[in-house]
Structures are given as structure tokens and as C-alpha cells.
């Protein structure tokens, strides 16, 4: 146990637990009543009136107990239920309760009958729990409470704390009126509004500090804690209208998340990124050297899409910023659009549809062909290219592919040894090369001329891959029979006006970079990328980072975890371990991974450590970034 000159006074309901215990009891006792919902609403209303100080607490207690109709036998199951409902960050910080046991008190307007058994697991004995007690009749029915107890009266916590006459600085941690009035009455020195479970404006406005979780409270007081840096202090900026589930996932884990609908231009992003730990983007936002330099706290960039060349990956790595993406979430969406477009182009559906929209009935079979038996040329036989080949074969197409890498041919697909071979043989050419900048103008006038007369071109990869002017010319001259274009060399940052040289050309399908924009894909990305981000921030695991050494080291009990990112030069590991040895730290687990520029090492050490070791590790030559996780 550690002695301090501070005393910590915790509220119980909605602070130590996620719930109001009497509400839970009501759910149990009224479960078979037909008007259950109505009574529970009444109870909750009365609870809130009491918490906010709008009716006297004694009145709120009397009215609730009358409505509850509870029995002694309900208390056991209630305690079992409350055990499952301990606040997340309280349960994660048992060590604090163990170490500071002598200084921790509970003052609650709830009841000792259910508080004592819960908090004794947190080393708070019954004699440090100040709460009400029930009155029972001979049959064990709960019929009231001990009215002599000051806690059953209005402002009872003030009287209770005054009577306790605690020495040292008294800090109150709670969520409501009865907690902050102890500070207002001058009995407590500080009030922390605890908002992990419920955020009450009134309480927050009266607080010396708002604590969204216990880690924040422990951080402010420099006490031992589960996370050395509370998650609510980690700022996440999500741009480009990512799916709201991403916000939900990250906020639920305790991070502070801001959503911005659009992509931001460099100058604006440079301003906005200051103090941000995690940046989430899609394909439009350019994360340049200047942006990365401005990101003074930046740890991670999450690309909520497949492509990552909008991010200066090398520079990010050299700055110790890990980048994650969603390599498969929208693959199927792109493939389905490609299949649809192949059929639409081959059947001249766009022209027929436009005619009928303008009041013309033009029934004809001219220029309308089945896809069965036609040659599809897939350029870039990666995740999208391969899946497309399977679906295309299933509808009877003969599939050819060309890739710069050796690939396993799926089904009956035929590999072409050169792009020219593929262009020569295909009725439809579809581009699925990666977003490598070397692919700029990969399909230009020369390549178009190598295509069959009347062939179709589809581009769902990146806009810079096709020379749009050359394509427009080929379509107008009749060299090509049609095209479907989803991506453009220049795309606007937000919805609005747009111009391309392809507008108005017959048998051309133009879409605004929506290949991956389906509800399913966006929903999947909103789970996938946040999971990677949370894993990296919470545990240091970098598996699947696209620019960074990949490490996964299982979490160890009773350990501190240090993350050290450094330039990959000889002797760093020896220096790190020299520092650890000089502070007599035992290494419980250590894993290093390097690439040509950067080394990343996760080290788990004994629970206890001298804080100076952190300064010493940061001073190791060639250190890029250092973090203590827990
Ligand atoms: N339109 C959209 O909304 C949308 C959605 C998702 C993906 N994309 C884009 O689709 C493309 C493909 O995605 P993926 O997941 O299949 O990528 P991938 O990395 O799995 O596959 C790309 C393939 O292209 C090959 N390749 C690269 N350059 C080549 C070249 N010059 N010639 C031949 N082959 C080449 C690579 O070797 C690789 O096999 C990417 O550019 C991606 O950004 C667009
Ligand atoms: O890289 C991708 O996944 C696609 O180009 C989709 O990008 P988006 O999320 O910006 O639509």
C-alpha cells in the first residue's frame, strides 16, 4: 500500500458502476408486471430529478422504494448483475485500488447491501463505505430505509464527509449533484466530474476537471494506471466522410474523434493536424511531407480505402508514423461494378437509355452484343483483377490477363506475356493496376492503337493511369467502341461541379470514383481500419501496416510495454538494453523488426520502473519515436 496525503472519495452509481443500481433492481422486480416500462420510466425520472437536485433526495428515495416493491432475496441477483456492470476503466485499474486502498472511500446515496460486496473486490472494506441501509418487514420485503442516516437526506453527502473529518487533500469523483456540492460546501478540495457512463452538463460545469474515464483521473494525479496516456487524450481526425461506424468504434474505445466531411487542402490540413494523433483519410487527401511535419503528435494514418499513394509512405515511415489501409473491403464492390459496366457497354445500354430519356424509342440490335464468348483483358491481376476473372468466366467470357508480377492463373484464364499481346486480343480491356505513380499515362495513344477496333476500355483503378485526352480522341474517332471511367487525373475534394474531356461522348459511362463506394464496403472498412488503429495504439501491434516493420507481441500480465522506433543503424538494440539494464529492468518479452530505414522494437519489462528510464530511452541516439503504453 502507498500512503499519500490525498483521500479519494468515489460515488458508486454511474461512477464505479455503469448503471444506477436501483434502476437495475427495478428491471428485476418488475419484470413480470404489465406496466413495467411505465414504472421504470417513472423511477428513472425520479432518480434524475434527485441527481440533478431538482427534488430532495429523501423524496426521490422514498418514491423509488415504494415503486420498486423489492425483497431481500432480490439483492443477491442484483449484486451478481452489478458485478457485470463495473465501469470499464475502473475494472481495468484494479491496481490503483489495491495500492491506495487506505485512501479510498465510497460515499453513496445508494445502499450498503449491494455496494459493500461489489467494492470489497476493489479492496474497499465496509468501514470505508458510507451509504444508506434498507429497512425490511418480517417477510423480507424492502419497505424503506434508515431515516437517521444522513445520506438519506438532502445534501447528506456534505454532512457525511464533514463527519468523516478526513485529513489531507480530499478529491471527490462522481457524476452528479450530490458529488459536486461537497466541493461547493468547502468540504472537498477537488471535484472530478466522471463522465464515462453519463455526461451531466451541470456536474461537468462545476468540476475542477472532467474525467471521461479513470485513466484520465489517474493521469491528472500522476497515479499508477492501466494506460500511461489516457485514450480520451488521443485525438483522431477522420476526413472524407468515412462511415459513421468508424466514429462509433473509435469513440466507444475511449478516443476523442472528430469527423470532417471533405478532404482538406494541404494548407488547411497543416493547421488541422497539429495535436492530432491519428489521421483517417480516403483517396483524396494528400498526406505530404509538409503535412507529416506539421503532425507534431501524429502516430498513425489510416487510409479508409485500398490506395495509399496519396500518402508519402516513405517519409511517414522515417517519421515513425505507421500507415494502415483496408486492402480487401471494397474489392467485391469494384468487381461487381466492372461486370455491370462490361455488359452495359457491350449492349450500348447508355445510348438506348439516353434516347428514351429524351423521348426517343430506338429499338435496334446494331452494336449490341452478348458478353458470352468475348475476350476480356484484365490489366493488373491483383485482388480485384483475380476476383473479376472468376465472375467474368462465370458469365462465359474468355479471360486474359497481364501483370508485371508472376501470378497464379485462376480458372481458365490465360496469361499474356506483354501488355501489347493483351491489348491485341481483348474485346474489353479493364484496368486494375495498383496506384503506383509509375503507372502514370500507362494507357496512352500508342496503347490505344494496339487495341482492337471497336474495343471497350474500363478504368476503375486510378485516374492518372489513362491519358484522358488520347482516350477522348479514340472514342470520337470510332477507334474505340466505348469506355467506362470511374477515376480521373484530377478529382474534386468535395461534391460539386466537375469537367472531363469525356463528357458528352456516346457509349461512355462516367461515374464519380464510386467503385468502392457501396454501403457494404464502407461499413466493412469502418470496422477494419479502426481495428488496426486501435491495435496499434493500444498494444503497439503493427501487423498489416503498409509502410512499417510488422510486429505482434502478445500482451503480458504485470508488465510495462515500451515502444521504440529508431533509425535502422547498427548498435541501437544494444543501447536500448544497456539503458534497461542500468535501471535494473527485467525484460519479459522483446521483439524487433526492421526494414531498410527503420527499426521498431516492443519491449515488455517488469511492472515497476523508474520514470527516468523513459527519458534515458528517448535520449538513445537515432530514436525517432518512443511511447510507453502501460
Ligand atoms: N474505383 C475505386 O473506387 C477503387 C476501389 C478500390 C480499388 N481501386 C484501385 O484499384 C486498383 C487495384 O486494386 P487491387 O486491390 O486489386 O490492387 P492489388 O495491389 O491487389 O493489385 C494490383 C496489381 O496490379 C499489378 N500491376 C501494377 N502495375 C502494373 C503494370 N504496370 N502492369 C501490369 N500489372 C501491374 C500489380 O502487380 C498487382 O498484381 C488500385 O489502383 C486501387 O487503388 C479503385
Ligand atoms: O483506393 C480505394 O480503395 C478506392 O480508390 C476508393 O477510394 P475512396 O474511398 O476515396 O472512394
**Beta-carbon contacts of residue 488 (< 8 Å; ≥ 6 apart):** 463, 468, 500, 513
* Nearest C-alpha neighbor of 510 from the set 484, 473, 489, 471: 484
Does residue 513 have its Cβ closer than 6 Å to ligand 2?
yes
In angstroms, what is the span from residue 382 Cα to ligand 1's centroid?
A: 6
The reported pTM is 0.86
Segment (H or E) for 431: strand 428-431
Q: What distance in angstroms lies between residue 379's CA and the mean position of ligand 1's atoms?
A: 9
The CA 476 to ligand 1 mean position distance, Å, reads: 28
Q: What is the pLDDT of residue 247?
A: 96
What tens digit of pLDDT does each residue of 413-467 get? 999 999 999 999 999 999 999 999 899 999 999 999 999 999 999 999 999 999 9
Distance of CA 206 to the CA centre of its chain: 31
The DSSP symbol for 109 reads: E
Mean pLDDT of 350-358: 95
pLDDT tens column, 452-473: 999 999 999 999 999 999 999 9
Q: Is the pLDDT of residue 53 over 80?
A: no
Question: Is 513 an active-site residue?
Answer: yes
Q: CA angle, 265 as apex, 261 and 266 as ends, to 5°?
A: 130
Ligand 2 probe mutation, 242, 330, 465, most atoms within 8 A of CB? 330
Domains and CATH numbers, the chain: 6-220 (3.40.50.1000), 227-329+518-548 (3.40.50.720), 331-517 (3.40.50.720), 555-629 (3.30.70.260)
Q: Which of 611, 594, 534, 526 is nearest to 277 (CA)?
A: 534
d(CA 44, CA 26): 10
The residues pairing with 400 across neighbouring beta strands, listed in sequence order, are 377, 414
The grid cell for 331 is 474489392
What are 350's three cell numbers?
447508355
pLDDT 10s digits, 60-83:
889 999 999 999 999 999 999 999
For 289-314, how does the pLDDT look when each residue is reduced to its tens digit (9 = 90+)? Answer: 999 999 999 999 999 999 999 999 99
pLDDT of residue 4: 62
379 lines ligand 1 (CB under 6 A): yes
pLDDT in the model for residue 611? 83
Beta-bridged to residue 71, according to DSSP, are 141
Longest dimension (CA), the chain: 99
Give yes or no for residue 564 CB within 6 A of ligand 1: no
Q: Residue 2: its pLDDT value, please?
A: 52
pLDDT at position 577 over 60: yes
- Ligand at shortest distance from the CA of 283: 2
Q: Which one from 462, 560, 564, 566 is the annotated catalytic residue? A: 462
The arithmetic mean of pLDDT across residues 200-220, rounded, is 95
Phi then psi dihedrals of residue 366, to 5 deg = -70, 130
Q: Is the pLDDT of residue 93 over 90?
A: yes
What burial letters (b/e) apply to 209-231, b meaning 16+ CB within 10 Å? Answer: ebbbbbbbbbbebebbbbbbbbb
Ligand 2 atom with the shortest distance to the CA of 307? 1
> Residue 56: its pLDDT value, please?
83
Q: Is 63 in the pocket of ligand 2 (CB under 6 A)?
A: no
626 touches 576 (CB < 8 A): no
Closest-approaching ligand to the CA atom of 525: 2
Q: Which residues lie below 8 Å from residue 543, measured CB to CB, with a gap of 6+? A: 535, 550, 551, 552
Which class for 466: exposed (0-12), middle (13-18), buried (19 or more C-beta within 10 A)? buried
pLDDT at 604: 93
Q: 296, 322, 222: which is closest to 537 by C-alpha?
A: 322
Tell me if ipTM is over 0.85.
Answer: yes
- Higher pLDDT: 214 or 225? It is 214
What's the gap in Å between 243 CA and the centre of ligand 2?
Answer: 13
319-329: average pLDDT: 97
pLDDT score at 140? 95
38 a catalytic residue: no
CA atoms of 61 and 50, how far apart (whole Å): 8
Mutate which of 384, 391, 520, 524 to test ligand 1's pocket (most atoms within 8 Å of Cβ)?
384
Is 59 among the residues known to form the active site? no
% pLDDT > 70, the chain: 99
What is the C-alpha separation between 393 and 395, in angstroms, rounded? Answer: 5
Q: Which residue has the least CA distance to atom 10 on ligand 2?
A: 283
Amino acid at each position: 500500500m502507498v500512503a499519500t496525503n490525498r483521500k479519494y472519495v468515489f460515488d458508486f452509481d454511474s461512477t464505479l458502476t455503469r448503471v444506477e443500481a436501483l434502476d437495475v433492481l427495478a428491471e428485476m422486480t418488475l419484470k413480470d408486471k404489465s406496466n413495467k416500462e411505465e414504472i421504470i420510466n417513472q423511477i428513472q425520472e425520479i432518480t434524475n430529478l434527485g441527481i440533478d437536485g431538482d427534488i430532495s433526495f429523501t423524496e426521490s428515495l422514498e418514491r423509488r422504494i415504494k415503486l420498486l416493491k423489492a425483497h431481500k432475496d432480490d439483492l443477491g441477483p442484483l449484486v451478481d448483475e452489478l458485478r457485470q456492470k463495473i465501469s470499464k476503466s475502473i475494472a481495468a485499474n484494479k491496481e490503483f485500488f489495491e495500492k491506495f486502498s487506505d485512501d479510498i472511500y465510497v460515499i453513496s446515496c445508494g445502499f450498503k447491501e449491494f455496494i459493500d460486496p461489489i467494492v470489497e473486490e476493489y479492496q474497499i472494506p465496509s468501514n470505508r463505505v458510507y451509504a444508506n441501509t434498507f429497512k425490511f418487514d418480517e417477510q423480507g420485503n424492502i419497505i424503506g430505509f434508515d431515516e437517521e442516516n444522513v445520506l438519506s437526506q438532502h445534501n447528506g453527502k456534505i454532512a457525511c464527509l464533514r463527519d468523516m473529518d478526513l485529513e489531507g487533500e480530499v478529491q471527490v469523483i462522481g457524476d452528479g449533484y450530490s458529488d459536486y456540492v461537497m466541493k461547493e460546501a468547502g468540504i472537498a478540495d477537488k471535484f472530478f466530474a466522471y463522465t464515462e457512463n453519463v455526461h451531466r452538463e451541470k456536474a461537468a460545469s462545476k468540476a475542477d476537471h472532467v474525467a471521461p474515464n479513470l485513466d484520465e483521473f489517474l493521469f491528472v494525479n500522476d497515479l499508477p494506471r492501466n494506460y500511461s496516456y489516457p485514450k480520451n487524450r488521443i485525438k483522431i481526425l477522420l476526413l472524407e466522410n468515412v462511415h459513421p461506424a468508424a466514429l462509433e468504434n473509435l469513440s466507444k474505445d475511449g478516443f476523442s474523434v472528430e469527423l470532417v466531411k471533405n478532404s482538406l487542402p494541404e494548407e488547411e490540413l497543416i493547421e488541422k493536424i497539429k495535436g492530432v494523433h491519428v489521421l483517417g483519410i480516403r483517396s483524396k487527401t494528400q498526406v505530404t511531407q509538409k503535412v507529416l511535419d506539421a503532425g507534431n503528435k501524429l502516430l498513425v494514418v489510416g487510409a479508409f480505402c485500398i490506395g495509399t499513394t496519396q500518402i508519402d509512405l516513405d517519409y511517414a515511415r522515417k517519421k515513425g508514423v505507421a500507415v494502415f489501409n483496408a486492402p480487401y473491403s471494397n474489392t467485391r464492390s469494384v468487381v461487381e461494378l466492372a461486370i455491370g459496366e462490361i455488359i452495359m457497354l457491350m449492349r450500348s445500354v447508355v445510348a438506348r437509355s439516353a434516347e428514351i430519356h429524351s423521348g426517343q424509342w430506338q429499338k435496334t440490335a446494331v452494336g449490341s452484343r452478348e458478353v458470352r464468348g468475348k475476350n476480356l483483358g484484365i490489366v493488373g491481376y491483383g485482388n480485384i483483377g483475380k476476383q473479376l476473372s472468376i465472375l467474368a468466366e462465370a458469365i462465359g467470357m474468355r479471360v486474359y490477363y497481364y501483370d508485371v508480377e508472376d501470378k497464379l492463373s485462376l480458372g481458365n484464364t490465360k496469361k499474356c506475356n506483354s501488355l501489347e499481346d493483351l491489348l491485341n486480343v481483348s474485346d474489353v480491356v479493364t484496368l486494375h493496376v495498383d496506384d503506383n505513380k509509375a503507372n502514370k499515362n500507362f494507357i496512352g495513344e500508342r496503347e490505344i492503337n494496339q487495341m482492337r477496333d471497336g474495343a471497350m476500355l474500363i478504368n476503375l483503378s486510378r485516374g492518372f493511369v489513362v491519358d484522358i485526352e488520347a482516350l477522348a480522341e479514340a472514342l470520337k474517332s470510332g477507334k474505340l467502341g466505348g469506355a467506362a471511367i470511374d477515376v480521373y487525373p484530377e478529382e474534386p475534394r468535395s461534391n460539386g461541379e466537375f469537367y472531363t474531356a469525356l463528357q458528352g461522348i456516346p457509349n461512355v459511362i462516367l461515374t464519380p470514383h464510386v467503385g468502392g463506394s457501396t454501403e457494404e464496403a464502407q461499413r466493412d472498412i469502418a470496422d477494419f481500419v479502426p481495428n488496426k488503429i486501435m491495435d496499434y495504439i493500444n498494444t503497439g501491434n503493427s501487423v498489416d501496416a503498409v509502410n512499417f516493420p510488422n510486429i505482434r507481441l502478445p500482451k503480458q500480465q504485470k508488465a510495462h510495454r515500451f515502444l521504440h522506433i529508431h533509425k535502422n543503424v547498427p548498435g541501437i538494440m544494444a543501447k536500448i538494453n544497456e539503458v534497461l539494464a542500468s535501471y535494473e529492468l527485467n525484460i519479459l518479452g522483446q521483439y524487433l523488426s526492421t526494414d531498410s530505414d527503420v527499426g521498431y522494437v516492443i519491449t515488455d519489462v517488469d511492472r515497476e520502473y523508474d520514470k527516468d528510464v523513459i527519458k534515458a530511452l528517448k535520449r538513445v541516439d537515432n530514436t525517432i519515436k518512443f511511447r510507453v503504453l502501460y
